Amino acid sequence: MESTHLVLPSPVVRVRLLGPLEVSRRFPDGSWQAVERKAWDKGTPPRSVFKRLLTTPGRRLSRLAIQEDLWPEASMELADRYLNNAVMVSRQIIGKTLVETIGPLYEIAGQSQVWTDVDACSALVREAENQGCTTPEALPLLEEAFRYFERGKCLEDEAERWCHAVRADAERVQRQCHLWLADGYEGVGKLWQAGEVYRTMIHALPGDEEALQSWMQMLVRQGKQREAFKCYQETKTRWEAQGFPLSNELEQMVASLNKQPTLALISPFQTLGDRMIPKQDIGQQNMNPSRRDFFQGIFGAVSVAFLHEEIYPDIEQTKSIRVFQRILKVRQALNPWENTVYVKNLDEQMKSVALLLVKGAK
């Protein structure tokens, strides 16, 4: 599948690093042809050198660094032979001008000429953040990155130590993409698709408790508590079989939901809204969606804390909420300057105040 966002025009080589290595070359007529595996000289060194250069920041690395990463136990003579052959094969496959020698360094051309899915995903997720992370404008970007990640694990056919950090970086981007995408789907009412994204995370990134917790919370917000517990039980069984036991914190959260089913069904966008904090007081008509969600999320956190164990706000807590409500009104007036350092600092301080209110309610 060809990328439609954020890829500079006319790359001449396209490389899939997610899943099995796949290299395609573009011909003058615009058609693409995959490079056959036998073109790599029936050996792993050329493929490994090629991937090592592509996944290095700047795509530039010294001969010595490559040799130490790939053949730490080999003699210098053997390592030199491996590397010289690997560079020669790489140039034959993608073109001599795209693999340069710069003194003791080798460098592969950038994304505009040698496109990789890993770099494309990073660019897509960065642009999604610029578009508001979970907004309708960000969803197509996240969906495209999601499709690339579906192909498989980064560098899945590599096992050397150097690939672990590269794979971890790709998984961080993947995780953020999936969390924002699921949240965005929920925001536009695509609940089944949101659930499928969470399901993908559970399988692809075992042990990610935030994904499991977010999935369960989404289900209980929709009144599907039984389905939430089913997801929890199935995931717990799967993860424990893979060597990823659940933390005590998550187990306690699930136990509290089981004891208080009515609390579990409270939506963070509805709590206290009719009794204490009218929605119009945070001016939702005049705020952009991401900022509105931010404020409503704060209200949700405070509200759930006040309802925890059926403890309703006393007089002092009510005063605190009203003071916090007035702070939000002031913050709303600063909306035109929301990208400035001062307002961003205010937002962080407001989060801290919300946490204090939560702790005070428990």
- As a whole number of angstroms, the distance between CA 162 and CA 37 comes to 23
Residue pointed to by tokens 């999601």: 146
pLDDT at residue 345 greater than cutoff 60: yes
Joined tokens for residue 298? 């704060």
Cβ–Cβ under 8 Å, residues 324 and 295: no
pLDDT beyond 70 at 342? no
Q: Does the pLDDT of residue 302 top 60, yes or no?
A: no
pLDDT attached to residue 245: 92
Which tops the pLDDT comparison, 309 or 33? 33
Q: What is the pLDDT of residues 212-241, one digit of tens each?
A: 999 998 888 888 888 998 999 999 999 999
Residue positions counted in the chain: 362
Place of tokens 């995903």: 121
pLDDT at 354: 65
Mean pLDDT confidence for 180-189 = 93
The residue among 260, 268, 200 whose CA lies nearest residue 235 is 200
Domains and CATH numbers, the chain: 13-115 (1.10.10.10), 116-264 (1.25.40.10), 279-361 (no CATH)
* Integer Cα distance of 141 and 129 in angstroms: 10
Convert 202-213 to b/e letters by CB count within 10 Å (16 or more is b): bebbbebeebbb
Band (334; pLDDT cuts 50, 70, 90): low
Q: What is the pLDDT of residues 140-151, one digit of tens each?
A: 999 999 999 999
Q: What one-character-per-residue DSSP string does 300-361 give?
A: HHHHHHHHGGG----HHHHHHHHHHHHHHHHHHHTGGGTTSHHHHHHHHHHHHHHHHHHHHH
